[in-house]
Structure 1
Amino acid sequence: MTAQEGAPLGLRERKKLATRRALGRAALLLALERGPENVRVDDIAAAVGVAPRTYNNYFSSVEEAICSLNVERAAQVAAGLRARPAGEPLAEALVNGIVGTVDGYTGGAEPDRAVVRVIAGAPMLRGEFLKSMTLVERALAEAIAERLEAAADRELMSRVLAAAVVAAARTATDHWLENPAGAPYHAVLRRALSFVGTEAAVAPERDG
């Protein structure tokens, strides 16, 4: 199990996770400096002080490495929903859980626009970005379904709501990038998710 799933990691696993994150950070910094298309495996490995062979134990492509920290953070979204109080209405839990997850990894500050623009906008990274969104959607649907035990169509409903949440978050991110003088990211994200919350508010949840 991963750290995101709550299981304690042994020393070996912690070292491996630290190496993976170091490679991911190096790949992202190089992408920001040179452009994603100019990043090579040898450069990433050299920046961390490991052999390219070691790099290949962690990532199968440069694109995967560049997006890895974003994927790791995105994987926490479902956990953010599960952490909300059981009695909190689903509409509120979705908004508060996702915005709270973003707060957790930005420390309440604005995300780095340059990083977000590279991850979400670079053509060569589009496949990895969409892959991460698919993983988030699947995990979020499972977390929503847990709160919809009383719903006759909970599987379909949870998948639809999860897809709507991911689409709203992506749209909020695009809007924020396109309007640098506009509202802060957290406000834009909360507003976009509130539209999904309007639909979630009518979803039957388990008692208590």
Structure 2
Amino acid sequence: MTGPGLRERKKADTRAALAAATLRLAVERGWAGVTVEAVAAEAGVSYRTFFNHFASKEEALLQPGGAEPGRFARLLAEQDASLPLLEAARGALHAELAAVDDPEGWRRRMSVMAAEPTLLARAVAVGSAGEREMTEAFAARSGLDADRSLHPALLAAVLGAAVRVALVRWQCAGDGADLHALLDEALDLLAAGLPVPAGPA
């Protein structure tokens, strides 16, 4: 009898194969040439199986690990309760970025997104949903009312921007760039009040 652990690993392997096939076809054919049927065939699974793992080809590209509502709230809740909110958020964001276990794949994924306006729009929508989740998580941790206080939503928006800037800088820097270090640099600047750097001497 197949145990839950083995079933979950098989599901994860199939999801990874579908995400990899989506990216590979997007690079080879362009986004308009990618269909769910082609992705399923490339991954060696049925059309129906694709939809057991992803709601659309866009999700397979932008969220290769699958959509996971509540993930940030869980990661934030795992941070030490004594930490200030910004530092707790830093820990949760680093945990999120630890999922980037295929740097070259993510750089290729970002290049595909940059070349396709419809994907950029979808990425913005995914980011907005993520910021809403962050807002609720920050409100819950700080005891603030997300509908009355600006702080949780503003912090979520600022941190979302910091992550995006760090990701873009990381992609442009190529091999050798440290995504976690870039995120820390962005967060340190925010924590310091975003001071204007001194110009060249």
TM-score by length of 1: 0.71
Question: Unaligned regions of 5+ residues in structure 2, if any?
Answer: 194-201
Number of residue-to-residue matches in the alignment: 190
* Whole-angstrom distance in 2 between the partners of 1:62 and 1:118: 13
Deviates more, 1:15-24 or 1:79-88: 15-24
**In 2 relative to 1, CA 60–101 (structure 1 residues): closer, same or farther, beyond 3 Å?**
closer
* Whole-angstrom distance in 1 between the partners of 2:89 and 2:186: 12
- Report the identity percentage: 35
Asked if 1 retains the 8 angstrom alpha-carbon contact of 2:26 and 2:33, the reply is yes
2:39 corresponds to 1:28: no
Asked if 2 retains the 8 angstrom alpha-carbon contact of 1:71 and 1:132, the reply is no
Alignment of 1:5-24 (within 5 A): 14=8, 19-24=14-19
Alignment of 1:98-177 (within 5 A): 98-103=93-98, 105-106=99-100, 112-119=106-113, 122-149=116-143, 155-177=149-171
TM-score by length of 2: 0.73
Deviates more, 1:147-156 or 1:134-143: 147-156
Equivalent in 78, 85, 88 of residue 90 of structure 1 = 85
Q: CA RMSD in A?
A: 3.6
Equivalent residue for 1:203? none
**In 2 relative to 1, CA 96–145 (structure 1 residues): closer, same or farther, beyond 3 Å?**
same
2:45 corresponds to 1:78: no
**In 2 relative to 1, CA 110–33 (structure 1 residues): closer, same or farther, beyond 3 Å?**
closer
Residue 161 of structure 1 and its aligned partner are, at CA, apart by 0.6
Residue 175 of structure 1 and its aligned partner are, at CA, apart by 2.5
* Whole-angstrom distance in 2 between the partners of 1:198 and 1:153: 27
Residue 98 of structure 1 and its aligned partner are, at CA, apart by 0.6
Q: Which has the higher contact order (CA 8 A, sep 6+)?
A: 1
Question: Unaligned regions of 5+ residues in structure 1, if any?
Answer: 1-9, 200-208
Paired letter, 1:160:
L
Equivalent residue for 1:189? 183
